Amino acid sequence: MRIQTIVIAGSLSLLSACQSLDTPAPDAAQSQSNTPTPAVNIEETQTSETIEVVEITDVWERIRLGLTLPVPEHKLVKQYREWYIKHPQHLARVSQRATPFLYLIVEEIEKRDLPIELALLPIVESAFDPFAYSHGAASGLWQFTAPMAKHFGLQMNWWYDGRRDVPAATVAALDMLEYLYKKTDGNWLYAIAAYNTGEGRVLNAAKRNRKKGKPTDFWSLDLPTETERYVPQLLALADVVQNAEKYGIKLTPIKNDPQIEVVNIKGQIDLALAAGFANMTTSELHKLNPGYNRWSTAPQGPHNLVLPVDRVLGFELALADTDAKERLNWERYKIKSGDSLGLIAQRFRTTPSALRAVNDIKGNTIIAGKHLLIPVAAKDPEQYALSVDQRQLSKQNVKRGNQKITYSVKSGDSLWKIAKAHDVKISQLASWNSMAPKDRLQIGQKLAIWTGNIKQGSSSITRTVNYTVRSGDSLARIASKFKVRVNDLVRWNSLEKSKYIQPGQKLKLYVNVTDVRA
pLDDT in tens, 19-45: 333 333 333 333 333 444 444 454 444
Judge contact between 9 and 49, C-beta under 8 A.
yes
| Domain extents in the chain | 4-55, 59-242, 260-326, 329-377, 397-451, 462-517
CA dihedral 244, 249, 254, 256 (to 10 degrees): 10
The answer to whether 389 touches 378, Cβ cutoff 8 Å, is no
Residue 404 has a pLDDT of: 81
Q: Is 125 a catalytic residue?
A: yes
CB atoms within 10 A of CB 225: 10
Q: Do domains 59-242 and 329-377 have the same CATH topology?
A: no
Least confident of 3-7, 145-149, 504-508: 3-7
CA atoms of 390 and 272, how far apart (whole Å): 15
Instruction: Check residues 155 and 50 and name the one with the higher pLDDT.
Output: 155
- The pLDDT tens digits for 50-103 are 666 668 999 999 999 999 999 999 999 999 999 999 999 999 999 999 999 999
What pLDDT does residue 190 have? 98
- How many CB atoms sit inside 10 A of residue 336's CB? 10
pLDDT of res. 18:
38
Query: Model confidence over 346-386: pLDDT tens digits?
Result: 888 788 888 888 888 888 889 999 999 888 888 888 888 88
Alpha-carbon distance of 299 to 450, in angstroms, equals 36
Q: Which helix (H) or strand (E) holds 150?
A: helix 146-151
Which pLDDT tens digit goes with each residue over 319-339?
Answer: 999 998 899 988 899 999 999
pLDDT for 398-443, tens place per residue?
877 777 888 888 888 999 889 888 888 888 888 888 787 877 888 8
- What's the CATH number of domain 397-451, 3.40.50.11600, 3.10.350.10, 3.40.640.10, 3.40.120.10? 3.10.350.10
Stretch 244-271: mean pLDDT = 94
pLDDT at 38: 46
Instruction: List pLDDT tens digits, range 460-512.
Output: 445 667 788 887 788 888 887 887 777 777 777 777 555 578 888 888 787 65
pLDDT computed for residue 168 by the predictor: 98
Q: What is the pLDDT of residue 460?
A: 41
Task: Give the pLDDT score at 457.
Answer: 38
Please report how the helices 166-183 and 199-211 are oriented relative to each other, as an axis angle in degrees rounded to 10.
20
CATH topology of domain 329-377: Membrane-bound Lytic Murein Transglycosylase D; Chain A (3.10.350)
Find, among 217, 252, 1, 248, the residue nearest to 111 by Cα: 1
β-strand 304-308 against 260-264: which pairing, if any?
A: antiparallel
What CATH architecture does domain 59-242 belong to?
Answer: Orthogonal Bundle (1.10)
Res. 137 pLDDT band, cuts 50 70 90: confident
- CATH 3.40.462.40, domain 462-517, yes or no: no
Contacts of 84 (CB under 8 A, 6+ apart): 90, 91, 236, 237, 240, 247, 249
Residue pair 174/109 in contact by the 8 Å Cβ criterion: yes
Distance between CA atoms of residues 49 and 239, nearest Å: 35
Q: Which of 117, 125, 199, 228 is catalytic?
A: 125
Peptide bond preceding 38 in cis form (omega within 30 of 0): no
How large is the average pLDDT for residues 201-215?
Answer: 97
% of the chain beyond a pLDDT of 70: 84
Name the band, by pLDDT with cuts 50, 70 and 90, for residue 136.
Answer: low
